[in-house]
Structures are given as C-alpha cells and as structure tokens.
A = this chain, B = another copy of it.
Amino acid sequence: MLMVTMKDIAERAKVSIATVSYVLNESGNVGEDTKKKVLEVIKELNYRPNLIAKSLKMKKTNTIGVIVEDMTVFNAPNIIDGINENAEKLGLSILLTNMRLEKRVSNNPNDPDLVKPIIKKIMDELVSKKVDGIIYVGLHPRDVTESIPETDIPILFTYCYTTKQEHCAINYNDEQAAYEATNYFVSKGHKKIALISGHIDSMSSHSRYSGYYKSIKKHNLLFNPSYIKTGDWRFDSGYSLTKELLETKDLPTAILAMNDQMAIGAIRACNDLGYRVPDDISIIGFDNREFGAYYSPKLTTMSLPLRRMGLLAIETIYHLISGSPTDCNKLKTTLSCELIERDSVCPPTGLF
C-alpha cells in the first residue's frame, strides 16, 4: 500500500521535512507563502499523518486501554458509550479488550488465582501497545483489588473498585438510590415497605439495605424484620420471596426489589395470588432494564448513571495522564441514581 509521508510533501513542495512538520503542527514561524504551498501539496497528495511514528517519537499514543470484564452484561454498553463520547471530544482513542469473564470463569469471577493471570496478560499487552491509561469496567460493583496486578500506567476503575489509595474509582451511589426509592414510597403514603435484597455477600445489597433502613428510620416508620427478604437477583427469587411476603399476617403495601428481575418476579407473584400492582401493592425495581418498560404495569425503577460514569471515567483519566495534580483528592467518586417513575407505584388503598 502506497503511503505518502512528510518526505514526499517536502520534496514536492521543495522545502525541508522540518518545514512540513512546522506547518503541520503550527509550530515554528513559517512564511505565509511556504505555508500555503505546503498545505497545497498536502491536500494534493492526500497526506495522512502516521500516528504510529508520531507516537514513537512523542512517547504518547493518546490511546486509552479499556478493559471490560464482560461486554454482554447490561451495564457495559452504556458505560462504553459514555467513554466513547468524551474520548472523541478529548482526542483520545479507545483500545478495547473484552475479558468475557462471565463465559470464561462463569462459576467464580472473583477468584484472583483464576482472574489475575488473565488481567496480567491483557495489561502487558496494553503496556506494549503503550496506552496512556487504562479504564477497567467491572461486571458488577465489588472490590477487585486482589485480581489487579501492579502496573505503572494510570488506571481507573468503574463499576467496581479497589482498596488501594492510589486507584481512582467511579461508581454510583447505592445507598442514596435505595434511600430515595424508599422515600418515594413514603411520599406516596406507604408505611409498610418490604425489601427484597440481592445476594447477602454483595456490596450493593449492603449499601441498598442501608439506604432503605435510613429512610425507614428518618420517617419514623416501624422497622419490621419480616419485611426483609434475601434473594439471589433472579426472577424466581423475587417471585417466591414475594409469595412469602404475601402469606404473612401484616401485608406490606410496597416492595422495593434490588433489581428489575426480582421486581417483575414480585409483580408476577402478586398477580398469581390475586393482588393487583400497583392498586394493591406498589413495586419499585432497580437498574432500569429495558424489559421493565415493556412490562405490565410498566415498572418504576432506579436508573443507574452508566453513561455518566463512562463520561466521567474518560475525563478523569484524561486529567490523570495530563498530570493534573488536583484530581488526586477526589479519587473515589460516586454518582447519583435517578428514579424512573412509571406505573408500578401508587398510593396505598388502605385495604390492608
């Protein structure tokens, strides 16, 4: 493949390579005439700079390596979309690596002995490719410290975090989200609000429980332990736990489920037991998954700020690699979630 270089431009324009470089980078003082001439030839020969050569010289690639634990998980596309959006604005390229963690080590994505060598290999590759920084996009919010090898390259975590001081992490605020969801129930007049939690060993579960609890306390509502059920994030657990909830004496009028799958499981359980949603029981989900909008009733849910996390991630790493020292203070950032009001919540009817 033919490739036109600065040398070709120089010869054709009868100037030196340096001059070509000057007009290309608008460095140095180039006379108007020569400049014009050079520009002409550049256009004429359809010159495209060789960024590989430039990178070698400058020791800077303007490229960010993005490691995503699993591309096909619902959080990834929107985070990457955000990364891309600001990357373009900042003149950064994205070198994407998809670990396909879910498929590769589906049983235990948290086993460092399994995962660390994979990440190490990917990072070595990125080091060799001379990326200026790395963004690591997690599968779900959790501590990945043990799986991350040492590295000199600036690295930033999103949708996960490490306990290391020097590691940036951008996440959303689980506690605030659950707090506001619960507040929303209260604002509609609910006093008996149940909670269907995710796995008990999940960080998100803890934080969301905590937000729920704070709201209950703040509004001086009775905290009823039998309203707290622990599921496993899946439809079936939402379904069966809701059935348990509806078989007790003192029925709740509202259920906060920690994800949308369990939320629609809850709706189904209500329906199967003859309760209507939201008329008899109100339900809020989490994650704002697509299917919630197509369900009947349309699911009210907490939306995660995925795109904004991506936007902020790339922006932050940009500052990091540009050596702005100020950013080192707010290393751990957390963004707010937003309630999507749809049709699965209404005031309690007072029937029970």
Partner-B contacts on A (CB < 8 A): 1-2, 48-53, 55-56, 61, 63, 66, 71-72, 76-78, 80-81, 84-85, 93-98, 100, 124-125, 127-130, 152, 235, 261, 264, 268, 289-291, 294-296
A257: shortest Cβ distance to chain B, in Å? 13
Question: Given A71-B77, A295-B294, do A49 and B94 touch, yes or no (CB 8 Å)?
Answer: no
With A85-B98, A264-B294 given, name 18 new contacts (CB 8 A).
A49-B128, A50-B130, A52-B55, A53-B56, A63-B95, A76-B77, A81-B100, A93-B95, A93-B97, A93-B129, A94-B95, A94-B97, A95-B95, A96-B96, A290-B291, A291-B291, A291-B294, A294-B295
Question: Is B97 a contact of A84 with CB atoms below 8 Å?
Answer: yes
- Copies of this polypeptide in the complex: 2
Shortest Cβ-Cβ A-B pairs, 4 listed: A291-B291, A84-B98, A96-B96, A51-B128
With a CB–CB cut-off of 8 A, which chain B residues contact A289? 290
What are 7 residue pairs bridging A and B, where the CB atoms are less than 8 Å apart in the complex? A71-B80, A71-B84, A77-B77, A80-B98, A84-B100, A94-B96, A291-B291
With a CB–CB cut-off of 8 A, which chain B residues contact A2? 152
| Chain B residue with Cβ nearest A294 | B291
| Chain B residue with Cβ nearest A91 | B125
The distance in angstroms between the C-alpha atoms of A72 and B95, with both chains bound, is: 18
Question: Given A51-B130, A95-B95, A235-B294, do A71 and B81 touch, yes or no (CB 8 Å)?
Answer: yes
With a CB–CB cut-off of 8 A, which chain B residues contact A77? 71-72, 76-77
Question: Is A72 a contact of B78 with CB atoms below 8 Å?
Answer: yes
- Please indicate which of the listed interface residues A51, A235, A268 has the most CB atoms of chain B within 10 Å of its own CB: A51
A310: shortest Cβ distance to chain B, in Å? 10
Question: Is B48 a contact of A124 with CB atoms below 8 Å?
Answer: yes
The distance in angstroms between the C-alpha atoms of A50 and B55, with both chains bound, is: 11
Question: Is B56 a contact of A52 with CB atoms below 8 Å?
Answer: yes
Question: Is A81 a contact of B85 with CB atoms below 8 Å?
Answer: no
| Chain B residue with Cβ nearest A85 | B100
The distance in angstroms between the C-alpha atoms of A235 and B130, with both chains bound, is: 47
With a CB–CB cut-off of 8 A, which chain B residues contact A52? 52, 55-56, 61, 129-130
